[in-house]
Amino acid sequence: MVGKEELEAVTRVINSGVLSGFTGNVKGHLGGEEVQALEKEWCERFEVKHAVAVNSASSGLYCALAAIDIQPEDEVIVTPYSMTISATVPLLFGAVPVFADIERRYYCLNPRRVKEKITSKTKAIIVVDLFGLPYDADALNKIAAEQGIYIIEDAAQAIGATYKGRYAGTLGDIGVFSLNVHKHIQCGEGGIVVTNNNDLAERVRLMRNHAEAVIHDRFWRGENFNKRNANMVGMNLRMTELEAAVARVQLSKLDRILENVRNYAEQFDVSVRPDCKHSYYSIPTTKYRAKDNYREGYIKPIYKMPVFQSRGYTVRCPVCEEVERNIALVIPPPECFEV
């Protein structure tokens, strides 16, 4: 919920007269005070080296693929059961999404099914911590390391969840969080990209804010830069100072929100992966348990959408289709977020 603290933060920014600290050159490359403060606080909260604020988690996934230098015809293994951008984002680069089936109990990508899909063209796996439960990091990270491919973790629904003591979003090479209006904490729209890799972090920052102009500025200043970044073409995927100020307040409320949501979820029988803490973005069940916050089903298997059917996709993921037919979701009620 948005309260007086957020209003005070927004008022502070408006009174400063600086609604965005970004410009498309080296001087304004990193954004304003609020954006940089949010990134620093995010790093501290989630024990990660780099955090890069963007205007949405969808943009964050786009930046992540750009950072690993995805190319046309590269293959990216994706889940059929998630918000659509988790599977469609490779198409924006001319890359090929390859669907692997999910786990029956936990709804995340099944490591065995992923391994079956890997080819010489596989560049990355986009894993999704669905409904707030982290993916099987030990198994999938091992597969990725053996094959020399990247793990991009979509943790949009899993802020504050953990896997063996490590935070969701920090389990792969790059992680992406969401701050849109439907998430545990929000600033209207927004996202955060995290990584412990210096080079990947720099490439995400370049993609967020007109990479070509920043590199050009550095060239004429005589500054050193990674030559493989010279051909990057970035976009305006920046977060405003207003959004960052709200997000900072919301981040300070996260622990109390998670406690409320987890207490609420205790009444349901939810399968949780061993050594994990769930964040319960939504509570998966097969029974009608709450009249006010119940919704039947989630998303249809993504490969059934026209965007993939028109491309000739004939893949079938039997477990995903079974889950989709039987699942129901309970949404934590508004009072969980009133802190």
- Give the pLDDT score at 222: 75
Asked which of 57-61, 143-147, 296-300, 301-305 is least confident by mean pLDDT, the reply is: 296-300
> Active-site residue numbers?
183
Q: Can you tell me whether residue 152 is helix, strand or coil?
A: strand
Choice between 289 and 87, residue whose per-residue pLDDT is larger:
87
Q: Is the pLDDT of residue 249 over 50?
A: yes
Q: Is the pLDDT of residue 120 over 50?
A: yes
**Cβ–Cβ under 8 Å, residues 184 and 129:** no
- Give the pLDDT score at 26: 83
Expressed in percent and rounded to 5, the helix, strand and coil fractions of the chain are 40, 15, 45
Sheet holding 294-296, edge to edge: 283-285, 328-330, 294-296
- Give the pLDDT score at 228: 80
Asked which of 112-116, 142-146, 322-326 is least confident by mean pLDDT, the reply is: 322-326
Alpha-carbon Rg for the chain in angstroms: 20
Q: Which domains does the chain have, with CATH numbers?
A: 4-253 (3.40.640.10)
In DSSP terms, which residues pair with 53 in a beta bridge?
Answer: 192
Which of the four pLDDT bands, split at 50, 70 and 90, describes residue 292? low
Q: What is the sign of the dihedral through the CA atoms of 69, 72, 73 and 79?
A: positive
* pLDDT tens track for 74-93: 999 999 999 999 999 999 99
Q: Is the pLDDT of residue 291 over 60?
A: no
**Cβ–Cβ under 8 Å, residues 129 and 153:** yes
- Give the pLDDT score at 290: 45
* pLDDT tens track for 232-246: 899 999 999 999 999
**Cβ–Cβ under 8 Å, residues 286 and 270:** no
Average pLDDT of the residues in 275-287 = 91
For the chain, the straight-line distance linking the first and the last C-alpha, in angstroms and rounded, comes to 7
- For 35, phi then psi, to 5°, come to -60, -45
* pLDDT tens track for 167-206: 999 999 999 999 999 999 999 999 999 999 999 999 999 9
Q: Is the pLDDT of residue 287 over 60?
A: no
**Cβ–Cβ under 8 Å, residues 254 and 281:** no
Q: Can you tell me whether residue 316 is helix, strand or coil?
A: coil
- Give the pLDDT score at 41: 98
pTM: 0.95
* pLDDT above 70: percentage of residues in the chain: 97
